[in-house]
Structure 1
Amino acid sequence: MPPLIRYLGMAEYQPTFEAMRAHNRATNESTPDELWLLEHPSTFTQGLAGKSEHILSAGNIPVVKIDRGGQVTYHGPGQLVIYLMLNMRGRNFGVKSLVMRLEQSVIDLLAEYGITSGRQTGMPGVYVVTDGVVAKIAAIGLRVANHATYHGLSLNINMDLEPFSRINPCGYAGLATTQLSALGVRDNTQVVGEKLLTHMKANLYG
């Protein structure tokens, strides 16, 4: 069954987080998959492995402690976020494969734009090399509970990257970040979202 696609626009982080958790608690064997596409106002989120020392200077940006895997990351306008409410009952792949399929979806999307990207060992997400520097362009963080996933991925499209300098992104000091607009892509969040959905459907349901 194809997933339900929900377009939430610009959505505050905390109520979206609470909605994900409520959806997860209500999931049963017949619950269809849902993919939520949205953007968040400026927010730092700190995962279960998060350490306070990785937040260097939050300033006026709120920090929300959440229950996904991983460390601290930043969400803000101009970044595409896709949350995955996937029912894992009866699926022929597990969470590790799911992460790889999500990474591959972003890699396939970037290839469509003529951009070479890849993975980094032990560092979930998608990376590109710009001016000889490895830079992160997409982050992935999931939680599995009640045989279903929530949280998901974020892809930097055309945003203010300055807040990433206030943290150690995903726990790595000095990790560079980049975005599609810096790589010559002019499509907006909505257009990129539709293209990424096509690749995600192929990698998750094809």
Structure 2
Amino acid sequence: METLPDPIWRPFPGLSDYAETVSAMEAHVSAMMSGNVGEEIWLVEHPPVLTAGTSTTAGDLLQPGRFPIHDVGRGGRITYHGPGQRVVYPMLDLGKRGRDVRRYVAGLEAWAIAALGELGIEAGISDAGTGIWVQTRTGLAKIGAIGVRVRRWISFHGLSLNVSTDLGHFSAIVPCGIAGHGVARVVDLAPLATMQALDEALSHNLPVLMHSLSASAPPRIKTLEAASDCR
């Protein structure tokens, strides 16, 4: 596999309108297909919004009308984005990075877990469902979601991590279709952590994602155990 430069790292200040961001992301992916631009990783925050992936069911929406909702073409079910949540959109050329979507998703998981670990938060994956999980005083909780789309081997959409998000907003949905578990955020597990600190940790640990794409096997990731009555 050829050696590729790291993607351009592009944080966006303030709150980014969801529909406008997705439109810009689609345009960048199209330009990548034409060979006019290179890989980029966008880091954004959105105003409160719900996004429904291709596996969303009617029962996933608990409070219709509370927040705007957008149907999107990424994988997964319904999720919430809002202030205090870091949303990461990697637009990578998987055609040059192994053509393995499962390994890419595992790489995103490993990257997020490594970044959280730098902040002193032990995270992992779980049989309870997709995404990034932590153990809290009340049990297993989800701190991050993953939903990706790949078009002609270009990745877009990506992952989100709750930093100082208003967790009450998640009551509008069954997050990513997972019932019986809570949601968590960085500031409750690492009180001194900030959005900037998470961004720096993600930047420091970007090699985890890049190595995962070029490795011969998916990364080994710690699995957190859910309580038996929630499986």
Tell me which interval the TM-score lies in, with the shorter structure as reference length.
over 0.9
Shift of 1:118: 0.9
Residue identity over aligned pairs, in percent, reads 37
Residue 20 (1) aligns with residue 61 (2):
no
Q: Number of paired residues?
A: 206
Correspondence for 1:87 among 88, 93, 115: 93
Task: State the match for 1:76 in structure 2.
Answer: 82
Q: CA RMSD in A?
A: 1.8
Q: TM-score, normalised by structure 2?
A: 0.83
Shift of 1:123: 2.4
Residue 137 (1) aligns with residue 143 (2):
yes
> For the Cα contact (< 8 Å) 1:69–1:142, is it kept in 2?
yes
Correspondence for 1:150 among 130, 149, 156: 156
- Bigger shift: residues 187-196 or 36-45: 187-196
Shift of 1:119: 0.4
Residue 62 (1) aligns with residue 68 (2):
yes
Correspondence for 1:8 among 12, 20, 35: 12
Unaligned 5+ residue runs, structure 2?
213-231
> For the Cα contact (< 8 Å) 1:50–1:171, is it kept in 2?
yes
Task: State the match for 2:106 in structure 1.
Answer: 100
State the SS of the aligned residue for 2:12: strand
Q: TM-score, normalised by structure 1?
A: 0.93
Shift of 1:184: 2.7
> For the Cα contact (< 8 Å) 1:35–1:83, is it kept in 2?
yes
Task: State the match for 1:204 in structure 2.
Answer: 210
CA offsets, 1:15-54, max 9 Å, x none? 1011111222222374421000110000000001111221
Unaligned 5+ residue runs, structure 1?
none
State the SS of the aligned residue for 2:165: coil
Task: State the match for 1:53 in structure 2.
Answer: 59
> For the Cα contact (< 8 Å) 1:168–1:175, is it kept in 2?
no
Structure 1: which 4+ aligned runs deviate by more than 6 Å?
none
